[in-house]
Amino acid sequence: MPIVVFNQKGGVGKSTITCNLAAISASQGLRTLVIDLDPQGNSTSYLLGGAAAEGQPTVADFFETTLSYSFKSIPPTDFLVETPFENLDVMPSSPALHELLVKLESRQKIYKLREALQQLADTYERIYIDTAPALNFYTRAALIGATGCLIPFDCDSFSRQALYTLLDNVQEIRADHNPDLQVDGIVVNQFQSRANLPQRMVAELIEEGLPVLQPYLPSSVRIRESHEQCLPMIYLDPNHKITLALIELHDGLRA
């Protein structure tokens, strides 16, 4: 069940949600993989911390192999790196994704990630894909290969405007390339329960019939500490309110 975490607006918590849901899956004994398609590599840094080093295989290396013809195909497992956390691996990001973009588009390699995901499904019970804040080749490839899409939403008017375009784009990819793709839901992130604007904005989304998920993820400085220490919340503070909210969100998706 590959799940893409995607929003064309930046700063909505894609990497945070990706890594924390993956860490919860792993902590529950599920073989879990994160694929980091964002050249900024926030998920890679979050999960590997100081262990992220040059010379390790990356997702850019995977895509580069799709550009060269060879009788011997390289399995996608060759591009994975173990994290310090049991049951959790990552296909790390790389700034080289920028350089490969035009070549991959011109050579029409959009389905190669889907082929890799199909192979990886034999090894992993959960696969989460982090994406850049753009509908580019890599994001489209992820949506073509996934079965689900989670949309982080940070209760901002700009994020709301982008939401409708994003939903249209997902529907287009579903119609043209991937009929199995479903919008699993909108994840309300950095929710301030005492502020009027977030409450009103979320209520309006629900009234419009959009798939807003419960629970809403509260704002917390503990998340920033989690980033700094490269420890997803389930490992840093398993009883914190945001950890419990993430577990509830994770288990609801699994059901």
- Tokens 């840093």 appear where? 236
The one-letter amino acid code at 176 reads D
Mean pLDDT in residue range 182-206: 90
Number of residues that make up the chain: 255
**For the chain, what is the domain count?**
1
Percent of the chain with pLDDT over 90: 80
Mean pLDDT in residue range 216-241: 96
Q: Provide the mean pLDDT of the chain.
A: 93
Mean pLDDT in residue range 217-222: 92
CA distance 3 to 35: 10
Is pLDDT at 71 greater than 60 in this prediction? no
Is pLDDT at 116 greater than 70 in this prediction? yes
* Confidence grade of residue 254 (pLDDT, cut at 50, 70, 90): low
Mean pLDDT in residue range 122-127: 96
pLDDT of 89: 98
Which residue range forms the structural domain that includes residue 183?
2-254
**What values do phi and psi take at 40, rounded to 5?**
-65, -25
Using an 8 Å Cβ cutoff, are 245 and 36 in contact?
no
Using an 8 Å Cβ cutoff, are 85 and 26 in contact?
yes
Cα first-last separation, the chain: 12
Mean pLDDT in residue range 79-107: 95
User: Residue 188, class by beta-carbon neighbours within 10 Å (0-12 exposed, 13-18 middle, 19+ buried)?
Assistant: buried
Q: What is the CATH number of the domain that holds 149?
A: 3.40.50.300
Q: Is the link from the previous residue into 211 a cis peptide, with omega within 30 of 0?
A: no
Which two tokens mark 119? 């192979």
Q: In angstroms, how far is CA 245 from the centroid of its own chain?
A: 18
The one-letter amino acid code at 131 reads T
Is pLDDT at 185 greater than 70 in this prediction? yes
